[in-house]
Structure 1
Amino acid sequence: MRGKIDKMDIQLIKLLAKNSRLTYKELAEILRTTRQRISRRMEKLERIGAIKKYTVIPDFDRLGYIYMIIGITIKPGIPMEPVIEKLKMEENVKIIERAVGSHNLVIHMVAPKEMKEIEKRINDLSSKIEGIDKMDITFITDIVKFEIL
């Protein structure tokens, strides 16, 4: 169990991905093991970075926000790290992903639903990032499925 991920670890992560509020006792009952073993496995998974964060999936619409996914293509020769560091500082940028394909970066961003505010946030973001070749914006209307494993 030292640092290696096994079948039970994967099952544990899948259960938590579906319901991160399960207690160690509940997880132990489902996986037919002890609460102590679950505790040790959770500590290991966190220590080795297999579990990075516990989070929720908010309903952006009910919170008064629009959720956007923005594909960004950076011009050749522009270093990515300074771009990523600038994006990390943006409060409205929630996820930053390196990508291979149509874009170098994919970011997930939220903004209040008012169109002028959305336009302002996108313009502010694009003016702060040097070397943008292309930006493709997709407005997410509903998250119908969200599974990790």
Structure 2
Amino acid sequence: MKGRAKIDPIDLRIIELLSKNARMTYKELAEALGTTRQRISRRMEKLERMGVIQKYTVVPNFDLLGYSYVLLGITLKAGVSIDEAIGKLKEVKHVTIIQKALGTHNLVVHVVAPKDMKEIQAIIEEISKAVPGVEHMDVTFITETCKYELF
């Protein structure tokens, strides 16, 4: 049933609350929205079934964990299959997020790597060799996440 979802303001409010704290219980959501836990349960099942809510996750502080967080903006040569490139990127251990993009880059790739610059260089070289038809790759080191809110 994935596709264009019919959601209402209450669904949007649930998503907003969960984007700030994905650990909220159905009871806490119900209290915040002035409804029952059972109604929240039904709405959550609907949102998950429709594909509106795809995943519950955490946002780690990579610096405190001893890792570097790197964004790669990849521009492919004309005619190169983006889906083939994505398939290759999915096989690379340190790649955590792959996003199709419009604009300067065809793909935005998130990489979590050990802080050692030689290891980072090796990972970037592995990615550039694995992906067919890379025309250009921009590398950006994320030094701090100052705001992370979806709504």
Please report the TM-score for the alignment, with normalisation by the length of structure 2: 0.95
Where does structure 1 differ by over 3 angstroms across 4 or more consecutive aligned residues? none
Per the TM alignment, residue 79 of structure 1 is displaced from its structure 2 partner at its CA by 1.1
Cα deviation, 1:112-136, whole Å, max 9, x if unaligned, reads 0001111111111111111000000
Per the TM alignment, residue 30 of structure 1 is displaced from its structure 2 partner at its CA by 0.5
Per the TM alignment, residue 90 of structure 1 is displaced from its structure 2 partner at its CA by 1.4
Q: Secondary structure at the match of 2:30?
A: helix
Work out which of the residue numbers 76, 79, 85 in structure 1 matches 2:78.
76
Per the TM alignment, residue 75 of structure 1 is displaced from its structure 2 partner at its CA by 0.1
**2:31 equivalent in structure 1:** 29
CA distance in 2, matches of 1:143, 1:9: 27
Q: Secondary structure at the match of 1:61?
A: helix
Q: Secondary structure at the match of 2:62?
A: coil
Q: Does 1:42 align with 2:44?
A: yes
Work out which of the residue numbers 84, 87, 103 in structure 2 matches 1:85.
87
Cα deviation, 1:23-52, whole Å, max 9, x if unaligned, reads 100110010000000000000000000000
CA distance in 2, matches of 1:97, 1:89: 15
Q: Which amino acid aligns with 1:136?
A: D
- Structure 1 residue runs without a partner (length 5+): none
CA distance in 2, matches of 1:73, 1:13: 32
Q: Secondary structure at the match of 1:67?
A: strand
Single out whichever of 81-90 and 35-44 deviates more from structure 2.
Answer: 81-90
**1:11 equivalent in structure 2:** 13
1:80-119 correspondence runs (5 A): 80-119=82-121
Q: Percent identity, aligned pairs only?
A: 57
CA distance in 1, matches of 2:60, 2:9: 30
* TM-align CA RMSD: 0.8
- Structure 2 residue runs without a partner (length 5+): none
Please report the TM-score for the alignment, with normalisation by the length of structure 1: 0.96
Q: Secondary structure at the match of 2:27?
A: helix
Q: Which amino acid aligns with 1:126?
A: S
